[in-house]
Chains A and B, each alone.
Chain A
Amino acid sequence: MTFLTIEHLEKSFGPNRVVKDFNLSVEKGEFVSLLGPSGCGKTTVLRMVAGFEAPSAGRIAIDGADVVRLRPNQRNIGMVFQAYALFPNLTVAQNVGFGLKVKGTPRAEIAARVAEMLALIGLPDLGGRYPFQLSGGQQQRVALARALAPKPQVLLLDEPLSALDAKVRVSLRNEIRAIQRELGITTIFVTHDQEEALSMSDRVVVMHQGVADQVGTPFEIYNQPATRFVANFVGTLNILEAEVIDPSLGHVRLPGGQARLGRPLPTGRVTLAARPEMVKLGAEGRDTALQGRITEVDFLGSVIRIRADLGGAVLAFDTFNTSHARPPRVGETVQLGLNAADLLVLQD
């Protein structure tokens, strides 16, 4: 049975439909990311789960119980904000203990839980400090501990890493994931950073203009994008417009050559896409060869980034640098190899 269920969720601000028929089922202990560009409605979905916004329509259930009518302070949900939002007048320990104190937990129990939480986030000695005496990363970890201390049923994180610098961001994301695994807490994580979403999540929801375009594991999202938007938003892609020669056999003509996809295709034209890492220089060992002229060679050290003109489309790909193979030169005509099975057929 799913633990958190969101069904047909809708939200409009005046005439503006911000979330449209959003559906999601999250298993207990699962880590799900909402990924999408700015303004696609990620925060709005999260705020409806937390109870800060009332849905225009739809159902949200946690552990079988409908929570839509509950106020935020009745939902038992932990929330971490992009801006940390620690209480500036309270020490770290008081911040972490806030939720328990509100519940009327005995003092000794609060102290024990606070110590446990501070150890969990790796800041056991900072309980007496005030928020302004902490770095951004430390503040966000305290915010995480504060959200987790009252043992919420669901943890919601709204771009918790966006305000941090790159190095802290990467280490903290690993830490958050480790803590989440250890506690087995059901988590929804909002981000517009695809790397964050792919690396942290059990499943990713790619959102686009208020709609969940695709829900799947990071592997599925990356390798089998369901829509053109998902394919474009996650990772880089080479787009190849192709003409279908034989719909039943999946035989197409595309810039620089032909390919046999071996799956049925619609008649007419289709849009195909190839991830840069699926393309290689030279066609040996690959079932599809495309002819192109090298237009750009960027030597980046371990990797050489190459762009080739296929006559109507540009194919970008990377090859590893090896000391014995010389890189291609600009203007050279080359064979580019790939497997037809790796070509994605994009729908709108």
Chain B
Amino acid sequence: MKKLLAWAILLLGITYFILPLVGMTEFSLSMRRGVYSLDAYRAVLADPRFHQTFGYSVIMALLTIVFGVLLVVPTAFWVQLKMPHLRPVVEFVTLLPLVIPAIVIVFGYIRLYNTSSWLPLTGTTFGTNLLLMLGYATLSLPYMYRAVDTGLRTIDVATLTEAAQSLGAGWTTILARVILPNVLVAVLSGAFVTFAIVMGEFTMAALLNRPAFGPYLQLMGANKAYEPFALAVIAFVITWACMGLIQLVTRFSKHTKAAR
């Protein structure tokens, strides 16, 4: 009886998650009346704006990841090594983007960096792209910092650092050869979350008026019937591929057993 109940609940959960996906996929395949077809996908893939916005967002995501890693890994390392008492403060700061809506952040940015400000970033395309990338990095900060910080806790940062120092290594070498490789799995999981966030982000890209994938999704959704669902399925597949990659990376890192 108990077992039956457990199965029923599991089934309910699965249905709750799977059913909308099935419906969505089914609908995205129904562009041609009466038969399943990939017409919607074909239409999406044929749209040059899809290529432009998708490519733009992928590049932005990669840049955001690089920037995020360069910002977060040394910071989390330093906090853990030299000022562990400040950890709650830093943690609180990194969690702020979860509390402050993106729209508030981006309006803050626009006020601070508009063309008549001390640093007119929005005046040029490059500047605006930079601002958007920094915005993305802020949005992904909670996930990136958490992931890296957790990764760092699984190794003896202080002793490994001292061992490397006594062997002649400076800070850059320590970060690149000792710390980063040992938190790589954590960094990658943070990176994939960042990727997923950037690919779907709408508010910042729209308000900064950049040709990103998020606003394109929104535009399609407002104007087309079947294509948005094809896009949603594509976005979903990307997300799942990221998840799968996290698993794969974890599986294939040879030395993770050493980390307790």
Complex CA gap A287/B169 in Å reads 63
> Of the 9-residue stretches B68-76, B107-115, B160-168, B226-234, which lies at the interface with chain A?
B160-168
Question: Are A88 and B165 closer than 8 Å at their CB atoms?
Answer: no
Residues of chain B lying within 8 A (CB to CB) of residue A99: 167-168
B254 at the interface (CB under 8 A from A): yes
Question: Are A78 and B255 closer than 8 Å at their CB atoms?
Answer: no
B257 at the interface (CB under 8 A from A): yes
A171 at the interface (CB under 8 A from B): no
Residues of chain A lying within 8 A (CB to CB) of residue B99: none
A73 at the interface (CB under 8 A from B): yes
Complex CA gap A50/B168 in Å reads 11
Residues of chain B lying within 8 A (CB to CB) of residue A73: 165-170
Question: Are A130 and B258 closer than 8 Å at their CB atoms?
Answer: yes
Question: Are B258 and A131 closer than 8 Å at their CB atoms?
Answer: yes
Query: Residue B166 contacts which of A50, A103, A130 (CB distance < 8 angstroms)?
Result: A50
Chain B nearest CB from A108 CB (Å) reads 20
Residues of chain B lying within 8 A (CB to CB) of residue A52: 162, 165
If the complex has contacts A73-B170, A103-B168, are A81 and B159 also in contact, measured as CB distance less than 8 A? yes
Interface residues of A in 257-296 (CB under 8 A from B): none
A72 at the interface (CB under 8 A from B): yes
Chain B nearest CB from A234 CB (Å) reads 30
Chain A nearest CB from B85 CB (Å) reads 14
B259 at the interface (CB under 8 A from A): yes
In the complex, which residue of chain A has the Cβ closest to the Cβ of B170?
A: A73
B178 at the interface (CB under 8 A from A): yes
Question: Are B168 and A150 closer than 8 Å at their CB atoms?
Answer: yes
Interface residues of A in 126-165 (CB under 8 A from B): 130-132, 143, 146-147, 150
If the complex has contacts A102-B167, A102-B168, are A85 and B162 also in contact, measured as CB distance less than 8 A? yes
If the complex has contacts A87-B178, A88-B155, A89-B182, are A146 and B167 also in contact, measured as CB distance less than 8 A? yes
Q: Select the residue from A76, A87, A99 with max chain B CB neighbours within 10 A.
A: A87
A31 at the interface (CB under 8 A from B): no
Q: Mark A71-86, 1 if CB is under 8 A from B, else 0.
A: 1111111110101011
Chain A nearest CB from B103 CB (Å) reads 41
Interface residues of A in 46-99 (CB under 8 A from B): 50-52, 71-79, 81, 83, 85-89, 98-99
Question: Are A88 and B167 closer than 8 Å at their CB atoms?
Answer: no
Chain B nearest CB from A190 CB (Å) reads 14
B181 at the interface (CB under 8 A from A): yes
Residues of chain A lying within 8 A (CB to CB) of residue B170: 73
In the complex, which residue of chain B has the Cβ closest to the Cβ of A156?
A: B166
In the complex, which residue of chain A has the Cβ closest to the Cβ of B257?
A: A132
In the complex, which residue of chain B has the Cβ closest to the Cβ of A94?
A: B177
Interface residues of B in 159-192 (CB under 8 A from A): 159-160, 162-170, 173, 177-178, 181-182, 184
Chain B nearest CB from A265 CB (Å) reads 49
Residues of chain B lying within 8 A (CB to CB) of residue A71: 165
Complex CA gap A132/B253 in Å reads 13
Query: Residue B160 contacts which of A51, A87, A147 (CB distance < 8 angstroms)?
Result: A87
Complex CA gap A65/B22 in Å reads 74
B91 at the interface (CB under 8 A from A): no
Chain B nearest CB from A95 CB (Å) reads 9
Q: Mark B147-159, 1 if CB is under 8 A from A, else 0.
A: 0000000011001
Question: Are A130 and B168 closer than 8 Å at their CB atoms?
Answer: no
Question: Are B167 and A98 closer than 8 Å at their CB atoms?
Answer: yes
Q: Select the residue from B162, B170, B178 with max chain A CB neighbours within 10 A.
A: B162
Complex CA gap A256/B23 in Å reads 100
Question: Are A78 and B166 closer than 8 Å at their CB atoms?
Answer: yes
Question: Are B255 and A83 closer than 8 Å at their CB atoms?
Answer: no
Complex CA gap A302/B181 in Å reads 56
Residues of chain B lying within 8 A (CB to CB) of residue A89: 178, 181-182, 184, 255, 258
If the complex has contacts A87-B178, A87-B182, A88-B182, are A147 and B166 also in contact, measured as CB distance less than 8 A? yes
Interface residues of B in 199-237 (CB under 8 A from A): none
In the complex, which residue of chain B has the Cβ closest to the Cβ of A132?
A: B258
Residues of chain A lying within 8 A (CB to CB) of residue B159: 81, 83, 85
Residues of chain B lying within 8 A (CB to CB) of residue A103: 168
**Given A52-B165, A77-B166, A83-B159, 16 new contacts (CB under 8 A):** A50-B162, A51-B165, A72-B166, A73-B165, A73-B167, A73-B168, A73-B170, A75-B166, A78-B166, A79-B162, A87-B182, A88-B255, A102-B173, A130-B255, A130-B258, A131-B258
User: Which 8 residue pairs are nearest across A and B when measured between Cβ atoms?
Assistant: A88-B258, A99-B167, A132-B258, A79-B166, A89-B181, A72-B165, A85-B163, A85-B159
The interface of chain A, by Cβ under 8 A from chain B, is 50-52, 71-79, 81, 83, 85-89, 98-99, 102-103, 130-132, 143, 146-147, 150
Provide a sorted-by-A list of 27 A–B residue pairs whose CB atoms are within 8 angstroms: A50-B162, A72-B165, A72-B166, A73-B165, A75-B166, A76-B168, A78-B166, A79-B162, A79-B163, A79-B166, A81-B162, A85-B160, A85-B162, A87-B163, A87-B177, A88-B182, A89-B182, A89-B258, A98-B177, A102-B164, A102-B168, A130-B258, A131-B255, A132-B257, A132-B258, A143-B163, A146-B167
